[in-house]
Amino acid sequence: MTAPAGPVPFGARLAGAMDDHGPLCVGIDPHAALLEAWSLPDDATGVREFGLRVVEVLGGRVAALKPQVAFFERHGSRGLAALEDVLAAARAAGTLTVVDAKRGDIGSTMAGYAEAFLADGSPLAGDAVTLTPYLGFGSLRPALDLASGTGRGVFVLCLTSNPEGARVQHAVAADGRSVAASVAAEAAALNADAEPLGSVGLVVGATVGDAVRATGTDLSAVNGPLLAPGVGAQGAGERELAAVFGAARGQVLASSSRGVLAAGPDAGALRGAAAAAVAEVSAALRPAR
């Protein structure tokens, strides 16, 4: 008797979504200024309404949505309940979600974070979660194992655009490799032989300039998705995306938050901004398509 097939891996599902909708992820970042611009209160009801409106307008139109956990959890348990509702709405819309939590710890604590954001049945689980590897890449093992078992994915911080990040990420270890290059190599090993993409992705800022070259980070070998925040309002366009990612451009899931969300709350304007962003990143990342 043939054993039942397991869940379709996140990398494969994301590759299909990017082919269908373009390589754009729209952030759901209900910070105070955007809530005010959308005439919503800066409380749990406001962040819930904000998130649900984004899902209603953009669900099924972009490859993924990325709720930023911090803007929900700052409102306590009601804010987290709002996040649960937003994630449920995205699931119902058939749109992938990347839960931007940037969690990282060791042992049973890391296992607890993994269960919260990656376990079947958890109301906080999306299709992928962002993680920080700076307690050692091996500390992420509970999340990596659970993601693999449930068909979910992770995006591990590798090269970020904040100036403080370079001191850690560009540092060179005793083996002569930079921290960023080591993180990328760990992801590549986990994604070996996966088709069309592995499910262990990296976060690489679209505005990091020549950091990929300077740190000797081989993004093309990762064989997984590269989440690239910084597109749109933060300044990264076609030139920056091409310069940062080079031959790895086909793996990139560009992320735009304010650049799209600032067009709201009008639904038509929001859809228009997302469509323009999809066209821009598609031209930069998939010029032959």
Confidence of residue 239 (pLDDT cuts 50, 70, 90): confident
Residue 287 has a pLDDT of 74
What digits encode the pLDDT tens for the residues 103-147?
Answer: 999 999 999 999 999 999 999 999 999 999 999 999 999 999 999
* Residue 234 within a domain: yes
What digits encode the pLDDT tens for the residues 32-84?
Answer: 999 999 999 999 999 999 999 999 999 999 999 999 999 999 999 999 999 99
- Indicate the pTM of the whole model: 0.96
* Residue 287 within a domain: no
* Residue 4 within a domain: no
Residue 85 has pLDDT above 50, yes or no: yes
Task: Return the C-alpha torsion angle 146, 149, 155, 157, nearest 10.
Answer: 40
* Residue 102 within a domain: yes
Catalytic residues: 102
- Beta bridge partners of residue 157, listed in sequence order: 203
- How many alpha carbons fall within 13 Å on the CB side of residue 1? 2
* Residue 221 within a domain: yes
Q: Please state the domain count of the chain.
A: 1
* Residue 85 within a domain: yes
What is the phi-psi region of residue 215: left when phi exceeds 0, alpha when psi lies from -120 to 50, beta otherwise? alpha
Taking a C-beta distance cutoff of 8 angstroms, is the pair 14, 225 a contact?
A: yes
* Residue 288 within a domain: no
Domain membership of residue 255 as a residue range: 10-282
What CATH number does the domain containing 21 carry? Answer: 3.20.20.70
Residue 289 has a pLDDT of 47
